[in-house]
């Protein structure tokens, strides 16, 4: 039996074992709840209202796959609203960003095709690619010439996969250049907008909208579990794409659909961000504040995004630093290798609309004085 779990034993011996820990009310510099919607009483109230309006009798669970008993007219309505919001022909909602990415990458590229992925893309996209029979290559992070060299060798229908904002580094992809390269090589671009949904572009339509190229990117993933403060995700594109996924995407077909209350949450959360733009403005102001304070300080990132880092190489070092932040009541988590490359171990610091300028300044102060 113990041989089955030997990788866990090795991890314990290295001191890098993962364990679950409940939130204990520390000052949040860790969650992806960038706008504070996950704990918003205003949004909670709106969700309940919408749910009760849409479903006159309680329906606690969807009761099946959306292709069987688990589909309702209200689900169609929410998808139409989202398609209008994202200015795309159609969207299909999935139970999570993980299953949306798994679905897209495992279903679209076929045997004989080629998937070319940024080396830093999320595990869900990599896992989807692994399930596909297409050939797969990585290109160096945000390195267009490396991408182009791989495009030159690619066979069949070619898919380029990137995120608009990278979740561990907090930097953006050069999306305009990626789109141009895709066009030049007749490749299809897939962009995961998980960390930009709700906070970039007009009213939160995402980074591709901000750059005015959303209509030129055929496959987009928007997730709801981060700035939107709820749960789920959608793939946005053409009606043909939606029909194709409904017919062939196993993570869509062989699973119980999200419950009606979750669809009411999607409707309410997207209405909320359009009605209350103030939280987005507050988040942007906190990002500027962070960048002003850390400018020129060694180890700190100055990303124009809510995801910042403080790099302090070595798993033991970064754990000790995070532990010290925790004991000062700051919820900041260490990112260890092998999650990131050895030598780039870091704190991942997420900024939120609800962090105060004083909290941000004190956190920076605590990090810089840790070494003294
Ligand atoms: C870039 C990216 N894509 C997809 C996901 C998965 O989304 P979800 O949490 O909704 O499964 C994540 C979550 O961490 C992510 O960071």
Instruction: Give the count of beta carbons closer than 10 Å to the beta carbon of residue 206.
Output: 27
**Whether 133 and 269 share a structural domain:** yes
**Whether 222 and 190 share a structural domain:** yes
19 part of a folded domain: no
CATH number of the domain bearing residue 196 = 3.40.640.10
Q: Give the phi and the psi of residue 192 in degrees, each rounded to 5.
A: -90, 115
DSSP 8-state symbol, 216: G
Last residue of a domain, one of 209, 241, 275: 275
Query: Tens of pLDDT along 279-317?
Result: 999 999 999 999 999 998 999 999 999 999 999 999 999
**Whether 115 and 249 share a structural domain:** yes
DSSP 8-state symbol, 60: -
**Whether 364 and 346 share a structural domain:** yes
Q: Is 345 in the pocket of ligand 1 (CB under 6 A)?
A: no
Is the per-residue pLDDT at 1 higher than 80? no
**Whether 149 and 297 share a structural domain:** no
Question: What span, in angstroms and rounded, lies between the C-alpha atoms of 269 and 246?
Answer: 24
**Whether 308 and 234 share a structural domain:** no
Query: Tens of pLDDT along 133-151?
Result: 999 999 999 999 999 999 9
203 part of a folded domain: yes
- Give me the domain span that covers residue 336: 25-38+277-370
315 part of a folded domain: yes
**Whether 324 and 189 share a structural domain:** no
**What is the pTM for the complete model shown?**
0.96
Quote the ligand 1 centre to 159 CA distance (angstroms): 20
Instruction: Give the count of beta carbons closer than 10 Å to the beta carbon of residue 147.
Output: 26
326 part of a folded domain: yes
Please identify, by atom number, the ligand 1 atom nearest to the C-alpha of residue 224. Answer: 10
53 part of a folded domain: no
Q: Is 196 in the pocket of ligand 1 (CB under 6 A)?
A: no
Q: Is the CB of residue 165 less than 8 Å from the CB of residue 141?
A: no
Q: What is the pLDDT of residue 126?
A: 98
**Whether 237 and 297 share a structural domain:** no
Quote the ligand 1 centre to 20 CA distance (angstroms): 18
Quote the ligand 1 centre to 309 CA distance (angstroms): 18
Q: Could you give the percent of the chain with pLDDT greater than 90? A: 92
Q: How many domains does the chain have?
A: 2
Query: Tens of pLDDT along 68-107?
Result: 999 999 999 999 999 999 999 999 999 999 999 999 999 9
């Amino acid at each position: 039996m113990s041989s089955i779990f030997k990788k866990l034993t090795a991890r314990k011996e290295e001191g890098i074992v993962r364990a679950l820990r409940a939130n204990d009310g520390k000052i949040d510099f860790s969650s992806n709840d960038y706008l504070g919607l996950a704990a918003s009483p205003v949004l909670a109230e709106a969700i309940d209202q919408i749910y009760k309006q849409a479903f006159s009798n309680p329906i606690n669970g969807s009761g099946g796959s959306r292709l069987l008993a688990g589909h309702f007219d209200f689900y169609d309505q929410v998808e139409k609203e989202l398609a209008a919001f994202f200015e795309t022909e159609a969207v299909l909602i999935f139970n999570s960003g993980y299953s949306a990415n798994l679905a897209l990458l495992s279903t679209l590229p076929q045997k004989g095709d080629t998937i070319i992925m940024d080396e830093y893309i999320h595990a869900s996209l990599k896992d989807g690619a692994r399930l596909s029979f297409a050939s797969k290559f990585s290109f160096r992070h945000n390195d267009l010439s490396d991408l182009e060299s791989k495009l030159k060798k690619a066979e069949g229908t070619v898919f380029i996969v990137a995120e608009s904002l990278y979740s561990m580094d907090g930097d953006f992809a050069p999306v305009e250049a990626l789109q141009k390269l895709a066009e030049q090589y007749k490749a299809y671009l897939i962009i995961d907008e998980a960390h930009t949904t709700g906070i970039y572009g007009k009213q939160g339509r995402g980074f591709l909208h901000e750059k005015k190229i959303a209509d030129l990117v055929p496959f987009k993933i928007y997730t709801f579990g981060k700035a939107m403060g709820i749960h789920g995700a959608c793939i946005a594109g053409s009606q043909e794409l939606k029909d194709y996924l409904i017919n062939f995407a196993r993570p869509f077909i062989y699973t119980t659909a999200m419950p009606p209350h979750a669809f009411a949450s999607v409707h309410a959360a997207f209405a909320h961000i359009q009605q209350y733009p103030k939280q987005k403005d507050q988040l942007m102001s906190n990002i500027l504040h962070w960048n002003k304070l850390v400018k020129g300080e060694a180890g700190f990132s100055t990303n124009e995004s809510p995801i910042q880092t403080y790099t302090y190489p070595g798993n033991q070092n970064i754990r000790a630093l995070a532990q010290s932040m925790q004991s000062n009541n700051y919820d900041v988590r260490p990112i260890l290798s092998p999650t990131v490359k050895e030598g780039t171990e870091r704190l991942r610091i997420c900024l939120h609309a609800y962090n105060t300028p004083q909290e941000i300044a004190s956190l920076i102060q605590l990090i810089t004085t840790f070494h003294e």
